[in-house]
Amino acid sequence: MYLLYMDESGNPDNPQDRHFVLGGAAIFERQTFFLAQDLEEVQKRHFPGLQPVVFHATDIRAGSGFWRTVPQTTRQAVLQDIGNVIGGANRPGLVLFGAAIEKTDSLYGEAAVERATAEVCRRFDIFLMRRKNESNDPQRGLLVFAEGRFRQRTRVWVKGFRELGTQWGVLVNLCDIPYFASAAETRMLQLADFVSHAVYLLYERRDATLIGPTINRFDQKDSVLHGLVHIARTSSICECPACASRRVPGSLGNWFQATAPQGP
């Protein structure tokens, strides 16, 4: 079984945020233990002897809460270490997904959240189908969301996706209802938080600092980043990695310089 941990970044109702992002880390069930160990090592390296420190990317970057007294160089090193954990994880034991929704007059608030949820869930379902059809590895998927104000609505949306389908078809590989947990309770949701914030920084600020080292972990086939999608306001040519790789497989566009993805 793969567990898809998901978290959001950006306020879907605030017009100051041009994008709403839902990011996710799909983790093979036996891989969660090793990833949690790797993240505990990051804490021991920087904060030995302390109680568990929550790795919340926004707080780390901004230096808020616990991170207020932590030097910027240490905060940057922590973020780099988390990125390295993702980049160095077992393949295909960790696969990333993300949907960046550029908000419009008709696509904002709950509509933006629902669209992002449908996009990520559908791409996760396709990944599971590909594992079965191409690798003879039938797996089911379970959704784990970070707790948020759309909790009840998300349950309804996912139930509808499974029974009635998304605009692309019915989801066939998900088992059980979606689950919700606090990011403070599991390091895996903290990985999802890192992914969502990395995608948000790329689309909102053209800042590839966090996503650069992890871009090759988004689900892909034939050098196309299927795990990352950009829902743009217009149909004009976009040079983001998601759009560029669909036009020219293997291309990441000109938003940042990085090594072309190498899929599992």
Element (DSSP H or E) covering residue 144? strand 141-146
Give pLDDT, residue 152. Answer: 61
Give pLDDT, residue 167. Answer: 55
Contacts of residue 155, Cβ cutoff 8 Å, sequence gap at least 6: 177, 178
Tell me the pLDDT tens digit for each residue of 141-181: 999 998 876 666 676 666 666 655 455 456 778 877 788 88
CB 120 within 8 A of CB 8: no
Closest by CA to 144, choosing from 183, 109, 102, 107, is: 183
The dihedrals phi and psi of 221, each to the nearest 5 degrees, come to -145, 135
CATH number of 2-247: 3.30.420
183 DSSP assignment: G
Predicted confidence (pLDDT) at residue 248 exceeds the cutoff of 80 = yes
User: Domain coordinates of the chain in residue numbers?
Assistant: 2-247
User: Which residue did the predictor score with more confidence, 27 or 175?
Assistant: 27
Predicted confidence (pLDDT) at residue 42 exceeds the cutoff of 60 = yes
